[in-house]
Protein backbone atom coordinates (compact mmCIF):
# COMPACT_ATOMS: atom_id res chain seq x y z
CA UNK A 1 0.00 0.00 0.00
CA UNK A 2 1.22 3.55 -0.70
CA UNK A 3 2.39 5.50 2.30
CA UNK A 4 5.39 6.01 4.56
CA UNK A 5 7.71 3.58 6.30
CA UNK A 6 9.26 5.48 9.20
CA UNK A 7 12.14 4.55 11.48
CA UNK A 8 14.41 6.21 14.04
CA UNK A 9 18.16 6.06 13.37
CA UNK A 10 19.05 8.71 15.94
CA UNK A 11 20.08 8.25 19.56
CA UNK A 12 16.86 9.89 20.77
CA UNK A 13 14.89 7.42 22.91
CA UNK A 14 11.89 9.71 23.36
CA UNK A 15 10.94 10.23 19.71
CA UNK A 16 7.38 10.29 18.40
CA UNK A 17 6.02 10.89 14.91
CA UNK A 18 2.84 12.48 13.56
CA UNK A 19 1.60 11.90 9.99
CA UNK A 20 -1.24 14.07 8.68
CA UNK A 21 -4.16 12.47 6.87
CA UNK A 22 -5.07 14.84 4.05
CA UNK A 23 -4.93 12.10 1.40
CA UNK A 24 -6.34 9.12 3.33
CA UNK A 25 -8.37 8.47 6.43
CA UNK A 26 -6.15 7.31 9.25
CA UNK A 27 -4.94 7.99 12.74
CA UNK A 28 -3.03 11.26 13.02
CA UNK A 29 -2.07 10.82 16.66
CA UNK A 30 1.53 10.85 17.89
CA UNK A 31 3.23 7.43 17.89
CA UNK A 32 6.56 6.09 19.09
CA UNK A 33 9.02 5.60 16.23
CA UNK A 34 10.50 2.12 15.72
CA UNK A 35 14.17 1.62 14.90
CA UNK A 36 13.40 -0.66 11.95
CA UNK A 37 11.05 -0.87 8.95
CA UNK A 38 10.59 -4.60 9.60
CA UNK A 39 7.19 -4.54 11.32
CA UNK A 40 4.56 -2.77 9.17
CA UNK A 41 2.23 -2.60 12.17
CA UNK A 42 4.51 -0.07 13.84
CA UNK A 43 6.52 1.36 10.93
CA UNK A 44 4.00 1.87 8.10
CA UNK A 45 1.47 4.69 7.63
CA UNK A 46 -1.01 4.25 4.77
CA UNK A 47 -1.34 7.50 2.84
CA UNK A 48 -1.50 8.45 -0.84
CA UNK A 49 -0.48 12.06 -1.44
CA UNK A 50 1.28 15.02 0.15
CA UNK A 51 1.43 14.76 3.94
CA UNK A 52 3.15 16.38 6.88
CA UNK A 53 5.55 14.03 8.67
CA UNK A 54 6.56 15.65 11.96
CA UNK A 55 8.74 14.42 14.81
CA UNK A 56 8.88 15.51 18.45
CA UNK A 57 10.90 14.80 21.56
CA UNK A 58 8.42 14.01 24.33
CA UNK A 59 10.76 15.30 27.04
CA UNK A 60 11.13 18.88 25.77
CA UNK A 61 8.64 19.19 22.87
CA UNK A 62 11.34 19.94 20.29
CA UNK A 63 9.69 19.51 16.90
CA UNK A 64 10.63 19.37 13.25
CA UNK A 65 8.61 18.37 10.21
CA UNK A 66 8.80 17.74 6.49
CA UNK A 67 6.11 17.89 3.79
CA UNK A 68 6.51 14.71 1.72
CA UNK A 69 4.80 13.08 -1.24
CA UNK A 70 3.87 9.38 -1.27
CA UNK A 71 1.44 9.45 -4.20
CA UNK A 72 1.14 5.90 -5.57
CA UNK A 73 4.37 4.80 -3.89
CA UNK A 74 5.92 3.84 -0.58
CA UNK A 75 8.47 6.23 0.84
CA UNK A 76 11.07 5.09 3.38
CA UNK A 77 11.73 7.88 5.89
CA UNK A 78 14.66 7.67 8.30
CA UNK A 79 14.93 10.21 11.12
CA UNK A 80 18.56 11.10 11.87
CA UNK A 81 18.17 13.84 14.48
CA UNK A 82 16.56 17.25 14.92
CA UNK A 83 19.71 18.97 13.68
CA UNK A 84 19.98 16.78 10.57
CA UNK A 85 18.02 16.14 7.40
CA UNK A 86 15.92 13.01 7.11
CA UNK A 87 16.94 10.26 4.71
CA UNK A 88 14.28 9.27 2.21
CA UNK A 89 14.02 6.62 -0.49
CA UNK A 90 11.55 7.53 -3.22
CA UNK A 91 10.41 5.11 -5.89
CA UNK A 92 10.10 6.67 -9.37
CA UNK A 93 10.88 10.14 -8.07
CA UNK A 94 9.73 12.89 -10.45
CA UNK A 95 12.37 14.79 -12.37
CA UNK A 96 12.80 18.49 -11.70
CA UNK A 97 12.15 20.17 -15.04
CA UNK A 98 15.09 22.56 -14.66
CA UNK A 99 17.33 20.23 -12.73
CA UNK A 100 21.01 20.44 -13.51
CA UNK A 101 22.78 17.20 -14.49
CA UNK A 102 24.77 17.09 -11.26
CA UNK A 103 21.73 17.51 -9.02
CA UNK A 104 19.57 14.76 -7.61
CA UNK A 105 15.83 15.07 -7.03
CA UNK A 106 14.94 16.79 -3.81
CA UNK A 107 11.47 16.87 -2.25
CA UNK A 108 10.14 20.18 -0.94
CA UNK A 109 12.41 21.52 1.77
CA UNK A 110 11.57 20.98 5.41
CA UNK A 111 9.71 23.52 7.43
CA UNK A 112 9.66 23.79 11.19
CA UNK A 113 6.37 22.43 12.55
CA UNK A 114 5.60 24.40 15.70
CA UNK A 115 2.67 24.54 18.06
CA UNK A 116 0.75 27.78 18.56
CA UNK A 117 2.65 28.40 21.79
CA UNK A 118 6.02 27.86 20.11
CA UNK A 119 5.05 30.06 17.17
CA UNK A 120 4.02 32.85 19.52
CA UNK A 121 7.35 32.53 21.35
CA UNK A 122 9.28 32.88 18.10
CA UNK A 123 7.10 35.81 17.05
CA UNK A 124 7.79 37.62 20.33
CA UNK A 125 11.51 37.11 19.69
CA UNK A 126 11.13 38.69 16.25
CA UNK A 127 8.99 41.55 17.56
CA UNK A 128 11.99 42.93 19.44
CA UNK A 129 13.02 44.35 16.06
CA UNK A 130 9.90 46.52 15.84
CA UNK A 131 11.70 49.70 17.02
CA UNK A 132 14.44 49.19 14.45
CA UNK A 133 11.91 48.71 11.66
CA UNK A 134 9.91 51.71 12.87
CA UNK A 135 12.88 54.01 12.26
CA UNK A 136 12.19 53.58 8.55
CA UNK A 137 8.57 54.73 8.89
CA UNK A 138 9.37 58.38 8.18
CA UNK A 139 11.31 57.60 5.02
CA UNK A 140 9.65 59.29 2.10
CA UNK A 141 8.75 57.41 -1.04
CA UNK A 142 11.20 57.93 -3.87
CA UNK A 143 10.32 58.24 -7.50
CA UNK A 144 10.69 54.98 -9.35
CA UNK A 145 13.93 54.96 -11.31
CA UNK A 146 14.08 53.91 -14.93
CA UNK A 147 14.64 50.23 -15.65
CA UNK A 148 18.27 49.25 -15.32
CA UNK A 149 20.12 46.00 -15.64
CA UNK A 150 21.77 44.52 -12.59
CA UNK A 151 24.90 42.45 -12.51
CA UNK A 152 23.22 39.14 -11.70
CA UNK A 153 20.03 39.68 -13.67
CA UNK A 154 18.94 36.91 -16.02
CA UNK A 155 19.65 37.85 -19.67
CA UNK A 156 15.98 38.00 -20.65
CA UNK A 157 14.72 40.50 -18.06
CA UNK A 158 15.32 43.92 -16.55
CA UNK A 159 15.25 44.86 -12.89
CA UNK A 160 13.55 48.09 -11.76
CA UNK A 161 14.91 50.00 -8.81
CA UNK A 162 12.84 49.45 -5.65
CA UNK A 163 10.00 51.89 -4.99
CA UNK A 164 11.35 52.49 -1.47
CA UNK A 165 14.98 53.17 -0.59
CA UNK A 166 14.77 51.48 2.82
CA UNK A 167 12.50 49.09 4.70
CA UNK A 168 9.24 50.70 5.79
CA UNK A 169 7.26 49.71 8.87
CA UNK A 170 4.35 48.30 6.92
CA UNK A 171 1.71 46.12 8.53
CA UNK A 172 2.46 43.07 6.38
CA UNK A 173 5.07 41.00 8.22
CA UNK A 174 5.54 37.27 7.52
CA UNK A 175 7.78 36.37 10.47
CA UNK A 176 5.90 33.20 11.54
CA UNK A 177 6.88 30.18 9.46
CA UNK A 178 4.08 28.88 7.21
CA UNK A 179 3.95 25.65 5.23
CA UNK A 180 5.77 25.56 1.90
CA UNK A 181 2.98 23.54 0.28
CA UNK A 182 3.09 20.87 -2.43
CA UNK A 183 3.64 23.16 -5.44
CA UNK A 184 7.24 24.27 -4.93
CA UNK A 185 9.62 23.58 -7.82
CA UNK A 186 13.40 23.85 -7.69
CA UNK A 187 15.60 26.07 -9.84
CA UNK A 188 13.28 28.87 -10.95
CA UNK A 189 14.44 31.91 -12.92
CA UNK A 190 16.26 34.85 -11.38
CA UNK A 191 14.04 37.75 -12.50
CA UNK A 192 11.86 40.55 -11.17
CA UNK A 193 8.80 40.12 -13.43
CA UNK A 194 7.13 36.74 -13.01
CA UNK A 195 3.99 37.35 -15.07
CA UNK A 196 5.07 36.12 -18.53
CA UNK A 197 1.93 35.92 -20.73
CA UNK A 198 -0.51 35.27 -17.89
CA UNK A 199 -3.65 37.41 -17.80
CA UNK A 200 -4.75 39.12 -14.62
CA UNK A 201 -4.16 42.14 -12.42
CA UNK A 202 -0.48 42.98 -12.05
CA UNK A 203 0.81 43.82 -8.59
CA UNK A 204 4.25 45.10 -7.58
CA UNK A 205 5.57 43.93 -4.22
CA UNK A 206 8.22 45.94 -2.39
CA UNK A 207 9.62 43.37 0.04
CA UNK A 208 12.03 44.10 2.88
CA UNK A 209 14.01 41.38 4.68
CA UNK A 210 15.25 41.90 8.26
CA UNK A 211 17.47 39.66 10.38
CA UNK A 212 15.43 39.08 13.55
CA UNK A 213 18.59 38.42 15.57
CA UNK A 214 20.48 41.62 14.70
CA UNK A 215 17.39 43.66 13.70
CA UNK A 216 19.22 44.89 10.61
CA UNK A 217 18.24 44.65 6.92
CA UNK A 218 19.61 41.65 5.03
CA UNK A 219 21.30 42.53 1.72
CA UNK A 220 21.81 40.04 -1.10
CA UNK A 221 19.31 37.43 0.08
CA UNK A 222 17.16 35.82 -2.60
CA UNK A 223 13.41 36.37 -2.25
CA UNK A 224 11.57 33.62 -4.13
CA UNK A 225 7.84 33.79 -4.88
CA UNK A 226 5.34 31.38 -6.41
CA UNK A 227 1.56 31.62 -6.72
CA UNK A 228 -1.49 30.36 -8.60
CA UNK A 229 -2.76 32.21 -11.67
CA UNK A 230 -6.18 33.84 -12.09
CA UNK A 231 -7.93 30.48 -12.44
CA UNK A 232 -6.17 28.87 -9.48
CA UNK A 233 -3.51 26.88 -11.34
CA UNK A 234 0.22 26.80 -10.57
CA UNK A 235 2.84 26.88 -13.28
CA UNK A 236 4.02 23.31 -13.67
CA UNK A 237 0.88 21.83 -12.09
CA UNK A 238 -2.12 22.17 -14.43
CA UNK A 239 -5.43 21.87 -12.56
CA UNK A 240 -3.59 20.67 -9.46
CA UNK A 241 -2.07 17.68 -11.26
CA UNK A 242 1.03 16.62 -9.31
CA UNK A 243 2.96 15.83 -12.51
CA UNK A 244 5.31 18.60 -13.62
CA UNK A 245 4.82 20.31 -16.98
CA UNK A 246 8.40 20.94 -17.99
CA UNK A 247 7.86 24.13 -19.97
CA UNK A 248 5.74 26.16 -17.53
CA UNK A 249 7.47 28.82 -15.42
CA UNK A 250 4.77 31.47 -14.94
CA UNK A 251 4.40 33.25 -11.60
CA UNK A 252 7.59 31.63 -10.30
CA UNK A 253 11.01 33.04 -9.56
CA UNK A 254 12.52 35.91 -7.63
CA UNK A 255 15.39 38.30 -7.12
CA UNK A 256 17.88 39.41 -4.49
CA UNK A 257 17.66 42.29 -2.02
CA UNK A 258 19.71 45.46 -2.43
CA UNK A 259 22.08 46.96 0.14
CA UNK A 260 19.07 48.14 2.19
CA UNK A 261 17.41 44.72 2.28
CA UNK A 262 14.78 45.66 -0.33
CA UNK A 263 13.65 43.91 -3.50
CA UNK A 264 10.79 44.71 -5.88
CA UNK A 265 9.02 41.89 -7.72
CA UNK A 266 6.11 42.05 -10.17
CA UNK A 267 3.56 39.25 -10.18
CA UNK A 268 -0.22 38.81 -10.57
CA UNK A 269 -3.00 38.96 -8.02
CA UNK A 270 -3.43 35.22 -7.37
CA UNK A 271 -6.60 33.23 -7.87
CA UNK A 272 -8.14 30.87 -5.34
CA UNK A 273 -8.50 27.11 -5.53
CA UNK A 274 -10.13 24.31 -3.55
CA UNK A 275 -9.20 24.57 0.16
CA UNK A 276 -6.99 27.68 -0.25
CA UNK A 277 -7.78 31.38 -0.34
CA UNK A 278 -5.68 33.89 -2.32
CA UNK A 279 -2.05 33.74 -1.24
CA UNK A 280 1.52 34.08 -2.46
CA UNK A 281 4.27 31.78 -1.23
CA UNK A 282 7.69 33.12 -0.35
CA UNK A 283 11.01 31.52 0.51
CA UNK A 284 14.13 33.44 1.55
CA UNK A 285 17.52 32.02 0.51
CA UNK A 286 20.80 33.09 2.09
CA UNK A 287 24.21 32.49 0.44
CA UNK A 288 22.35 31.67 -2.77
CA UNK A 289 23.91 30.79 -6.11
CA UNK A 290 22.83 31.07 -9.73
CA UNK A 291 23.19 28.68 -12.66
CA UNK A 292 24.70 29.86 -15.93
CA UNK A 293 21.24 29.47 -17.50
CA UNK A 294 19.79 32.21 -15.27
CA UNK A 295 18.07 29.99 -12.69
CA UNK A 296 18.46 29.73 -8.94
CA UNK A 297 20.43 26.77 -7.58
CA UNK A 298 17.76 25.80 -5.08
CA UNK A 299 19.93 23.36 -3.14
CA UNK A 300 22.77 25.86 -2.61
CA UNK A 301 22.96 28.13 0.42
CA UNK A 302 20.31 27.91 3.13
CA UNK A 303 16.62 28.70 3.51
CA UNK A 304 16.09 31.15 6.39
CA UNK A 305 12.34 31.72 6.07
CA UNK A 306 9.26 30.14 4.48
CA UNK A 307 6.04 32.15 4.56
CA UNK A 308 2.89 33.26 2.76
CA UNK A 309 1.26 36.60 1.92
CA UNK A 310 -2.53 37.02 2.02
CA UNK A 311 -5.11 39.56 0.82
CA UNK A 312 -8.05 41.18 2.57
CA UNK A 313 -11.41 39.75 1.53
CA UNK A 314 -12.66 43.15 0.34
CA UNK A 315 -9.87 43.19 -2.24
CA UNK A 316 -10.55 39.58 -3.20
CA UNK A 317 -14.21 40.41 -3.82
CA UNK A 318 -13.35 43.28 -6.14
CA UNK A 319 -10.69 41.38 -8.08
CA UNK A 320 -12.76 38.24 -8.54
CA UNK A 321 -15.51 40.23 -10.24
CA UNK A 322 -13.15 40.93 -13.16
CA UNK A 323 -11.85 38.86 -16.05
CA UNK A 324 -10.13 36.43 -16.18
CA UNK A 325 -10.83 35.67 -12.50
CA UNK A 326 -14.53 35.17 -13.28
CA UNK A 327 -13.60 32.14 -15.39
CA UNK A 328 -12.20 30.28 -12.37
CA UNK A 329 -14.21 27.05 -12.14
CA UNK A 330 -12.90 26.00 -8.73
CA UNK A 331 -14.86 26.45 -5.54
CA UNK A 332 -13.87 29.63 -3.74
CA UNK A 333 -12.27 29.37 -0.32
CA UNK A 334 -12.66 32.40 1.94
CA UNK A 335 -10.03 33.70 4.35
CA UNK A 336 -12.10 32.44 7.26
CA UNK A 337 -12.02 28.94 5.76
CA UNK A 338 -8.29 28.78 5.03
CA UNK A 339 -6.51 26.63 7.61
CA UNK A 340 -3.08 28.30 7.22
CA UNK A 341 -4.00 31.95 7.81
CA UNK A 342 -4.13 31.65 11.59
CA UNK A 343 -0.58 30.35 11.85
CA UNK A 344 0.67 33.14 9.58
CA UNK A 345 -0.79 35.80 11.86
CA UNK A 346 0.28 34.64 15.31
CA UNK A 347 1.95 36.84 17.88
CA UNK A 348 0.59 40.13 16.60
CA UNK A 349 1.87 39.72 13.05
CA UNK A 350 -0.25 40.54 10.03
CA UNK A 351 0.59 38.74 6.79
CA UNK A 352 -2.04 40.60 4.74
CA UNK A 353 -0.71 42.72 1.88
CA UNK A 354 -1.81 46.36 1.76
pLDDT per position as a tens digit, 215-247: 788 899 999 999 999 999 998 876 655 555 556
31-32 and 44-46 as β-strands: parallel, antiparallel, unpaired?
Answer: unpaired
Q: 3-state SS string over 95-113? A: CCCCCCCCCCCCCCCCECC
pTM score, whole prediction: 0.61
| CA dist., res. 202 & res. 206, Å (int) | 13
Q: Is 104 exposed, middle or buried (0-12, 13-18, 19+ CB in 10 A)?
A: exposed
Q: CA–CA distance from 198 to each of 50, 193, 202, 320 (Å)?
A: 27, 11, 10, 16
Instruction: End-to-end CA distance of the chain: give it in Å, rounded.
Output: 46
| 76 band by pLDDT with thresholds 50, 70 and 90 | confident
- Topology adopted by domain 116-353: Protocatechuate 3,4-Dioxygenase, subunit A (2.60.130)
Question: 324: alpha, beta or left, given left = phi > 0 and alpha = psi -120 to 50?
Answer: alpha
**Sequence ranges of the domains in the chain:** 3-89, 116-353
Q: Which residues contact 39 (CB under 8 A, 6 or more apart)?
A: none
| 280 band by pLDDT with thresholds 50, 70 and 90 | very high
Residue 91: alpha-carbon gap to chain centroid? 24
pLDDT in tens, 120-140: 444 555 556 666 655 543 342
- CATH code of 3-89, in short, is 2.60.40
pLDDT reading at 325 higher than 70: yes
Amino acid sequence: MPGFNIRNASSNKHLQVFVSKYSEDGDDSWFNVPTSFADPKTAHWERNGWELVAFRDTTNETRRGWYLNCTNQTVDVTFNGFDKEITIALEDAPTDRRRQPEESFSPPRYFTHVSKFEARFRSVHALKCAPAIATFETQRMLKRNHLTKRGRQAPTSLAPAPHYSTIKNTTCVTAPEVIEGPYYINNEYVRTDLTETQAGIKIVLDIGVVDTVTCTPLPNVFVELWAANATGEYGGYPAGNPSHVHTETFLRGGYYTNANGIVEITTLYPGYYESRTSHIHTMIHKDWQQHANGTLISQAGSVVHVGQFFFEETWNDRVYETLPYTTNKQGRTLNTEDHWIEGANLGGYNSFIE
